[in-house]
Amino acid sequence: MRERDQIAEKLSAAGYIADGELATAIALMQLLKRPLLLEGAAGVGKTEVAKALAAVHGTELIRLQCYEGLDQSAALYEWNYQRQLLAIQAHRGSAGEVEEQIFSEKYLLERPLLAAIRRERSPVLLIDEIDRADDEFEAFLLELLSDFQVSIPELGTIVATTIPHVVLTSNGTRELSDALRRRCLYHYVDYPDVDREARIILARIAGAGASLSLQIARMVESIRKEELRKVPGVAETLDWAAALVGLDVRDLHDAPEVVHETLMCLLKTHEDKARFQPEVTARLLGKVA
Amino acid sequence: MSCCGSPSSYEESLEVSRLIATRLSAFLATLRDNAYAIGLKEGEDAAALIAAGYAERPGLLRSALKHLFSARRSDWDKFDGLFDAFWLGKRVRSRSVTTGSSKAANSPSLKSLSGTERQSMGGDSPPDQIPSDEDAPPQHGGEGRMEGASAADNLGDTDFRKMAEPEQIAQAHAAAALLAKAMRTRLTRRDLARRRGYRLDLRRTIHANVHHGGVPIDLVKRRRKNKPLRLVVLLDASGSMSMYTGVFIRFIHGVLDEFREAEAFLFHTRLAHVSAAMKERDPGRALDRLSMMAQGAGGGTRIGESLHNFNRGHAARVLHSRSCVMIVSDGYETGDAALLGREMAALAKRCRRIVWLNPMMGWDGYAPEAAGIKAALPHVDLYAPAHTLKSLAALEPYLAKL
């Protein structure tokens, strides 16, 4: 499909090295007008997809970070109570007049979800880590995503001026409801393969040469295969690459001690760190051509 | 796109699109049989995709439909195989194809409950370790704890393995299901009673008092929200447990049905996540689906390895700070006992409590001598017998306190 290839091109122009199927997913989002649900381990670049998508469409990215206890007033809208109180004190008109005034647009605080449906141009709405929000919020979100309208009791129903491109991400700390899953397109983001990771390093870290990038990617891949408590993600790889470049390492084999010492960029628990004795690093380094 | 556009004849194109529609709906049926949740809307969208030209290349269509029809990782992983098998006629590993119910399910070990009697292994010291709140003998008052099980009063004290007649077994099953239900209602009541600890919610108070001109007359308070207890059951389905698995599966089925948050896993030489199969309303069908998933049940037990897989693959998703892990096993580890100890330690860090139910504990002269159970016990919060309905019922006050 032509659109799909165009999207793939635009993605790489935006600096996002996508795996082959992601372009299809984005093309489908447009065609079917469905949200995209991204799942995958922490640090594989789920949030980056939304940023890249915003770049592809050339629009704004509106982000809603979910957390436990997130409710409508933090996600959708809230009245500006302080201003309302001030207005009441200042006016002293009849009750009807005051009410008319203080429940108007001027006193309404837009939160991400409301903002996303009132833009001139469809923005990208990123609902990050939806699995951290409560079940009730998920149900509410489901309603919003199907109708794209919001009813505010004091003001009436607000219908979306544009339909945003919705991306949801989940780390899998909680099982999402089937209803939400069914409404969304699904894409599983896996750790990138060596080749793709090398290209990501090359694109992101200035000063990392092609051969060093490839070495780093290979090394990280073999580290991921070890029994680790916390498997390093792409963000960690980039940190590590930046550290190595900053310490002027051109070839991993030249500076095994530096490699071993900088592994703290990748290994984030005490146990993992303890397991990686210098011999282990040397063994893995030996496998990296 | 696949049909229209060619000027040949209208009828011909109509015929082609009809063919595609039939084929597509057959594919949808295949997917539904494989536990994909696909509604009417998805079917329409799939047709729209084909019309939009996605059917030009199989790879493209596969990728597009994969995004549309998958809802979780397991779907995502097995989609390619199913697609290739259906549209391209390639072989798919028959195991990944699981239909809802089937008479042909002949994995007998799960269903055959009345096994032959087994002799307990040697060992003289009485059951020890962390005592449950009340062990079997004393009748601790009419708290109504047995409200579920009272229907089968005479069965309360009978060891599950001594039940041989089908009627008795059926009765025990029903009682186990009822018990699970009773546990749930009681837990809920406690949950509500604990909801105190008010604080003033300033924002809502101001909002509620706008019509008093801002004078705070009606106060709005905030209460702490309680996370419901999550129960994660790991059931040993190995050969040495075969007399008990039936009853426990029924018990787990009841638990999953009633608890809003519960997950179930089955393990023997490997670990299987069975929550989805157990959510089937009809216990018979659930058992059918289960027996297909639990191939290899009735063999040896690799508890350590199964726990390792659980910790690695499921724990992050399934466990939170208010989770109770319930392991039902006799602790005969055929694998590495040291591994079991390590994995238990890791598990203990992630959850609130670990309850180990051991049916063998009710046997006369049983002592936790097996290497596996010895390695595991230091990390267990409650080690209790579970050979009778009564011993199961005794768990409830403990769970309610978590």
DSSP A131: G
Number of DSSP helices (H) and strands (E) in chain B, helices first: 16, 8
Q: How far apart are CA B117 and CA B132, in angstroms?
A: 27
Tell me, yes or no, whether A209 lies in a domain.
yes
Residue B207, Cβ density class (10 Å: 0-12 exposed, 13-18 middle, ≥19 buried)? middle
Same domain for A143 and A164, yes or no, is yes
Q: Which of residues 37-66 of A touch B (CB under 8 A)?
A: 39
Non-local CB neighbours of B19 within 8 Å, separated by 6+ positions: none
**Predicted pLDDT of residue B402:** 61
Whether the Cβ atoms of residue A102 and residue A84 lie closer than 8 Å to each other: yes
Cβ atoms within 10 Å of B364's Cβ, excluding its own: 7
- Nearest residue, CB atoms, A24 vs list B42, B63, B214: B63
Which residues are paired to A187 by β-bridges?
A38
Whether the Cβ atoms of residue B261 and residue B188 lie closer than 8 Å to each other: no
Tell me the mean pLDDT in the region A172-178. 77
Res A165 pLDDT > 90: yes
Pairwise pLDDT comparison (A198 vs B317), residue with the higher score:
A198
- Residue B54's closest CA among B41, B35, B67? B67
Cα angle, residue B27 at apex, residues B22 and B28 outer, rounded to 5°: 95
Q: How far apart are CA B391 and CA B402, in angstroms?
A: 18
Cβ atoms within 10 Å of B136's Cβ, excluding its own: 17
Q: How far apart are CA A240 and CA A234, in angstroms?
A: 10
Tell me, yes or no, whether A289 lies in a domain.
no
Last residue of a domain, one of A188, A222, A245: A188
Same domain for A52 and A96, yes or no, is no
Q: Which residue is listed with tokens 């951290």? A: A132
Residue B171, Cβ density class (10 Å: 0-12 exposed, 13-18 middle, ≥19 buried)? middle
Pairing of strands B382-385, A185-188: unpaired
Q: How far apart are CA A56 and CA B176, in angstroms?
A: 57
In the chain, the amino acid numbered B221 is K
Give the CATH number for residue A132.
3.40.50.300
Whether the Cβ atoms of residue B323 and residue B265 lie closer than 8 Å to each other: no
**Predicted pLDDT of residue B156:** 57
Tell me, yes or no, whether A48 lies in a domain.
yes
**Predicted pLDDT of residue B181:** 66
**Predicted pLDDT of residue A218:** 92
- Residue B322's closest CA among B353, B297, B349? B353
Least confidently predicted of A156-160, A241-245, B277-281, B305-309: B277-281
Q: How far apart are CA A67 and CA A131, in angstroms?
A: 8
- For residue A163, the distance in angstroms to the closest alpha carbon of chain B comes to 18
Is the CB of A1 less than 8 angstroms away from the CB of B37? Answer: no
Non-local CB neighbours of B156 within 8 Å, separated by 6+ positions: B146, B149, B388, B389, B390, B393
Q: How far apart are CA B70 and CA B76, in angstroms?
A: 5
Q: Which residue is listed with tokens 């635009």? A: A10
Q: How far apart are CA B209 and CA B216, in angstroms?
A: 6
Write out chain B residues lying below 8 Å of A21, CB-based: 63, 66-67
| Start-to-end Cα distance in chain A | 38
**Predicted pLDDT of residue B103:** 37
In the chain, the amino acid numbered A6 is Q
- For residue B207, the distance in angstroms to the closest alpha carbon of chain A comes to 6
How many Å is the Cα radius of gyration of chain B?
26
Q: Is A4 on the interface with B (CB under 8 A)?
A: yes
Same domain for A63 and A199, yes or no, is no
Same domain for A125 and A230, yes or no, is no
ipTM of the complex: 0.78
Same domain for A235 and A218, yes or no, is yes
Number of independent structural domains in chain A: 3
Tell me, yes or no, whether A139 lies in a domain.
yes
Same domain for A204 and A121, yes or no, is no
Tell me, yes or no, whether A7 lies in a domain.
yes
Res A289 pLDDT > 80: no
DSSP E strand boundaries for chain A: 36-39, 61-65, 77-79, 108-110, 124-128, 149-152, 156-159, 165-170, 185-188
Same domain for A116 and A225, yes or no, is no
Same domain for A263 and A198, yes or no, is yes
Q: How far apart are CA B286 and CA B252, in angstroms?
A: 11
Res B113 pLDDT > 70: no
Res B304 pLDDT > 50: yes
CA distances from A233 to A104, A196, A237, B315 (A): 46, 13, 6, 19
Q: Is the dihedral of CA B28, B31, B37, B42 positive or negative?
A: negative
Same domain for A128 and A222, yes or no, is no
- For residue A79, the distance in angstroms to the closest alpha carbon of chain B comes to 8
Which residues are paired to A158 by β-bridges?
A150
Tell me the mean pLDDT in the region B120-147. 38
Residue B279: φ, ψ to 5°: -80, -10
Q: How far apart are CA A282 and CA A288, in angstroms?
A: 10
Same domain for A143 and A243, yes or no, is no
Which of A2, A5, A19, A24 to mutate to probe the B interface, most B CBs <10 Å?
Answer: A24
DSSP B310: I
Question: In terms of CA atoms, which chain A residue is nearest residue B315?
Answer: A173
Q: Is the dihedral of CA B364, B367, B370, B372 positive or negative?
A: positive
- For A20, how many CA atoms within 13 A lie in the half-sphere containing its CB? 7
Residues of B with CB under 8 A from a CB of A: 37-39, 42, 45, 48-49, 52-54, 56, 60, 63-64, 66-68, 70-73, 75-77, 203, 206-207, 210-211, 213-214, 225, 316-317, 320
Q: Is A133 on the interface with B (CB under 8 A)?
A: no
Q: Is A81 on the interface with B (CB under 8 A)?
A: yes
Q: What is the pLDDT of residues B47-80, one digit of tens each?
A: 888 888 888 888 888 888 999 998 888 888 889 8
In the chain, the amino acid numbered B306 is S
CA distances from A36 to A33, A141, A188, B106 (A): 9, 14, 10, 40
Tokens for A277, please give them. Answer: 């004795």
Tell me, yes or no, whether A221 lies in a domain.
yes
With bands split at pLDDT 50, 70 and 90, how would you rate the model's confidence at B159? low
Q: What is the pLDDT of residues B239-255, one digit of tens each?
A: 777 777 777 877 777 77
Number of DSSP helices (H) and strands (E) in chain A, helices first: 15, 9
Q: How far apart are CA B132 and CA B231, in angstroms?
A: 18
* Structural element, H or E, at residue B200: strand B199-200
Q: Which CATH architecture has domain B145-196+227-401?
A: 3-Layer(aba) Sandwich (3.40)
Same domain for A102 and A222, yes or no, is no
Same domain for A97 and A227, yes or no, is no
Tell me the mean pLDDT in the region B1-25. 69
Whether the Cβ atoms of residue A273 and residue A265 lie closer than 8 Å to each other: no
Write out chain B residues lying below 8 Å of A226, CB-based: none
- For A287, how many CA atoms within 13 A lie in the half-sphere containing its CB? 13
**Domain of A123, in residue numbers:** 2-70+111-188
Whether the Cβ atoms of residue B209 and residue B216 lie closer than 8 Å to each other: yes
Residue A97, Cβ density class (10 Å: 0-12 exposed, 13-18 middle, ≥19 buried)? exposed
- Nearest residue, CB atoms, B53 vs list A1, A79, A102: A1
Boundaries of every domain in chain B: 10-93, 145-196+227-401
**Three-class SS state of A246:** helix
Percent of chain B past pLDDT 90, that is, above it, reads 0
**Predicted pLDDT of residue B160:** 62
Res B185 pLDDT > 70: no
Is the CB of B316 less than 8 angstroms away from the CB of A88? Answer: no
DSSP B122: S
Q: How far apart are CA B389 and CA B368, in angstroms?
A: 21
Whether the Cβ atoms of residue B130 and residue B63 lie closer than 8 Å to each other: no
- Nearest residue, CB atoms, A178 vs list B53, B56, B71: B71
Res B214 pLDDT > 90: no
Q: How far apart are CA A80 and CA A170, in angstroms?
A: 31
Q: Is A72 on the interface with B (CB under 8 A)?
A: no
With bands split at pLDDT 50, 70 and 90, how would you rate the model's confidence at B191? very low
Tell me, yes or no, whether A26 lies in a domain.
yes
Question: In terms of CA atoms, which chain A residue is nearest residue B37?
Answer: A182
Write out chain A residues lying below 8 Å of B67, CB-based: 21, 24-25, 28, 36, 185-187
- Nearest residue, CB atoms, A178 vs list B37, B49, B211: B37
Pairwise pLDDT comparison (B125 vs B258), residue with the higher score:
B258
Tell me, yes or no, whether A104 lies in a domain.
yes
Res A285 pLDDT > 90: no
Which of A2, A31, A32 to mutate to probe the B interface, most B CBs <10 Å?
Answer: A32
Q: Is A282 on the interface with B (CB under 8 A)?
A: no
Pairing of strands A185-188, B221-222: unpaired
